[in-house]
Amino acid sequence: MLVNLRDICAIAEQNNMAVGAFNAPSLEAVRAVIDAAEETGYPVILQHAEVHENIVPLDVMGPTMVALAERSSAQICVHLDHGENLSYLHRALEYGFTGVMFDGSTLPYEDNVYYSARAAEMCSGYDCGLECELGSMGAREGDVLTEDGAEAQAGGSGAVYTDPDQASDFVSETGLDILACSFGTVHGLYRGKPQLSFDVLKAIRDRVRIPLVMHGGSGVSDEDYRQAIDAGIRKINYYTYGAKYAGEAACEVADAVRASGAGSPVYWHDLTSAAYDRLVKDFIDVMKVFANGAKPVA
How many other C-beta atoms lie within 10 A of the C-beta of residue 26? 18
Q: DSSP string of 36-80? A: HHHHH---EEEEEEGGGTTTS-HHHHHHHHHHHHHH-SS-EEEEE
103 is catalytic: no
Nearer to ligand 13P, 141 or 282 (CB): 141
Nearer to ligand 13P, 141 or 163 (CB): 141
Instruction: Please choose, from the candidates 29, 102, 30, 112, the residue with its C-alpha nearest in 3D space to the C-alpha of residue 64.
Output: 30
Query: Is 239 a residue that touches ligand 13P (CB under 6 A)?
Result: yes
Query: Is 99 a residue that touches ligand 13P (CB under 6 A)?
Result: no
In the bound complex, what is the minimum distance in angstroms from residue 282's beta carbon to ligand 13P?
11
Nearer to ligand 13P, 23 or 26 (CB): 23
> What residue type is 71 in one-letter code?
R
Between 56 and 95, how does the x/- string for binding to ligand 13P read (CB under 6 A)?
Answer: -------------------------xx-------------
Selected binder of ligand 13P within 187, 234, 235, 278 (CB under 6 A): 187
How many other C-beta atoms lie within 10 A of the C-beta of residue 46? 29
Query: Is 217 a residue that touches ligand 13P (CB under 6 A)?
Result: yes
Contact present, 134 and 170 (Cβ < 8 Å): yes
Q: How far is CA 57 from the centre of its chain?
A: 18
Distances from the Cα of 252 to the Cαs of 73, 94, 108, 192, in angstroms? 33, 40, 46, 26
In the bound complex, what is the minimum distance in angstroms from residue 179's beta carbon to ligand 13P?
14
Query: Is 149 a residue that touches ligand 13P (CB under 6 A)?
Result: no
Give catalytic residues, as residue numbers: 81
Q: Which residues bind ligand 13P (CB under 6 A)?
A: 23, 81-82, 141, 187-188, 215-218, 237-240
